Structure 1
Amino acid sequence: MLRALRPLVAVLLFAGCGSDITSGSSPDLVSAPAALADADRAGGTTPREGSVRLSTGVTLRYVEQGRQDGPVVVLLHGYTDSHHTWDLDLPRFSRDFHVYALDQRGHGDSSRPACCYTQQAFAKDVVAFLDAKRVSRAVLMGHSMGSFIAQQVALDFPSRVKGLVLVGSAPTVAGNEVALGLKEVVDLQTDPVDPAFIHEFQAGTFYAPVPASYLDTLVSESSKLPARVWQDTLDGLIAEDHSARLGRVRVPTLIIGGDHDGFFSVEQQRALARAIPGAKYLLYPETGHAPHAERPRRFMSDVQQFLERL
């Protein structure tokens, strides 16, 4: 199996992550416990866990933090991830914001329905979650898959979106060579999904070092998903192409990408910034597909400045 994975891993790692992405020095390298300690010194609190049954029929697990009456920010994780993708960022959020980090359908500890895993289905869950929490409008912050779901909500339910933060994103996944190569391997998976594949998939998203404990958590969370959710979710991502509609987005938008993103090239990232009127685009040097994890200090500083201007 490992031999069969090599072509895919070579594509995912073409940016040159190195043999051990959890080692090395970086001014942004910080463990989750260290980030929590920083938050405690600043008067922060540990996120609260909860679950909610939605009108779409799924039960979503989530964590929340911040002022109950503060501006709402909803965090949407990437493909096969969970709310833990934001572990290095949540402790740095100002407690003036009411932040929800979701486990989306099929992912983390949320329910895994037999159907459906289209971007439209994920987007309807987000709106149903806002309804359940009696939130009229929210800022949506999404990484990779989560960024496309955030785009979908802004297009299909524009009155519910106050702003967008799109991380490791592009105008579409349709036709993306890396996604199509990933699909070839994912389609071969049976339960349980190959642990070596999961580790190489997750490790391949990073260019700058990340904490070993953080990577271990991501691998553990991805391991919760049955093969059918890996397959159906990726199929849904590849099938949807709303790039021609992005000019209709009329909310403040911040796009953050890495110059060594192994999924979406800098040109694809810039195409997204050109497609959304007035979007601000920040390109992080020496950074891969996950700026929020590879550069959490800079990332949260940029996000906070954006949110405070809304």
Structure 2
Amino acid sequence: MAAVAVHNAVLGEGRPMLPYAEAGRPEGTPIVLVHGYLDSWWTFEPMLRAMLPGLHAYAPTQRGHGDADKPSDGYRPDDFADDLLAFMDSVGLQRAVLVGGSSGGVQARILAGRRPDRVSGLVLLGVPGSLADKPRVGEFWNTVRELKDPVDRALATDLADGLTATPVGRGFLKTVVDESLKAPARVWRETLRGLLEADLRATLTGILVPTLVVWGDQDPLLNRADQQTILDAIPDSRLLVYEGAGHLVYWEDPERVLRDLAAFAADRF
């Protein structure tokens, strides 16, 4: 089991402080794990604990989430992408493989499209091509837009509990729910608003770095056609299907994700 160290990254004047977890050998291929909506670095804890010798992982908690600073604004995908680049600068990463989980893949692909000089590869784990055609997301927005503090724990538990096709440890699930409740209602609202108002298909244009798309065929949110949207837009991309897995493949089979990530990263450096 790999050791996981937690540090704080100060991104500079006018930007938030972001906690981040780090695991792996210093000489390993650098990867940056980018969490999705309401998560924190803890969502990647199973992967960090199982980190392979050839990888060196950084997992920042994004603004407004977990124990990160919670500024009054800046919750659009573009804002998170800007923070991601500032995070890489703060920890001295000139190039890295970006690994986006769920909606975290949106800001990862924005950065990959804008700064291919800083991104050696892109891995998208259960990332939406678009949200405009997802009725379940629209229904959730109707709840979130009216949220008040404190956020109901039952809402956070139902959200986390319904994203996997196979059971995950109850202790781990409690941790990620606890982390999601550290985000105030305005962060729940403004982050989802930013995703819904953004043209997510446009964030797929101009990506020229090699890209691995990973999708669980029991994903309750995303279907195969949605993933095809990504494949059609990114020239150097390929799909890896995890049969029997749900939306969060990195919760359900972190060891397999790491093996596939290591094989992909081996060709980038």
| TM-score higher than 0.5 | yes
SS in 2 for 1:127: helix
Counterpart check, 1:168 vs 2:108:
no
2:167 to 209, 221, 224: 209
Structure-2 change in CA distance of 1:47 and 1:248 (3 Å): same
2:98 to 140, 148, 160: 140
2:57 to 82, 99, 102: 99
Counterpart check, 1:63 vs 2:27:
no
- Residue 172 of structure 1 and its aligned partner are, at CA, apart by 2.5
Residue by residue, what CA displacement relative to the aligned partner does 1:228-280 show, whole Å, maximum 9, x if unpaired? 00000000111111424524211111111111211111210122122211212
**Residue 6 of structure 2 corresponds to which residue in structure 1?**
49
**Residue 232 of structure 2 corresponds to which residue in structure 1?**
274
Residue identity matched to 1:92:
A
SS in 2 for 1:65: strand
Residue identity matched to 2:242:
Y
Q: Distance in 1 between matches of 2:192 and 2:49?
A: 30
Counterpart check, 1:178 vs 2:136:
yes
- Residue 188 of structure 1 and its aligned partner are, at CA, apart by 1.9
- Residue 287 of structure 1 and its aligned partner are, at CA, apart by 1.2
- Residue 175 of structure 1 and its aligned partner are, at CA, apart by 4.4
Identity %: 37
CA contact (8 A) 1:208 1:294 kept: yes
Residue identity matched to 2:5:
R
Q: For structure 1, which segment, 237-246 or 121-130, has the greater mean C-alpha deviation from structure 2 after superposition?
A: 237-246
- The alignment yields a C-alpha RMSD, in angstroms, of 1.5
- Equivalent positions of 1:113-262 (< 5 A) are 113-244=71-202, 246-262=204-220
CA contact (8 A) 1:174 1:237 kept: no
- Residue 296 of structure 1 and its aligned partner are, at CA, apart by 1.9
Residue by residue, what CA displacement relative to the aligned partner does 1:138-188 show, whole Å, maximum 9, x if unpaired? 111011111111111112222211111101112222443222111111112
Q: Which has the larger radius of gyration?
A: 1
TM-score scaled to structure 1, two decimals? 0.82
Gaps of 5+ in 1: 1-38
CA contact (8 A) 1:93 1:304 kept: no
Detail structure 1 runs of 4+ shifted over 6 Å in the superposition.
Answer: none
Structure-2 change in CA distance of 1:128 and 1:196 (3 Å): same
SS in 1 for 2:226: helix
Q: Distance in 2 between matches of 1:197 and 1:242?
A: 26
TM-score scaled to structure 2, two decimals? 0.94
Q: How many residue pairs align between the two structures?
A: 267
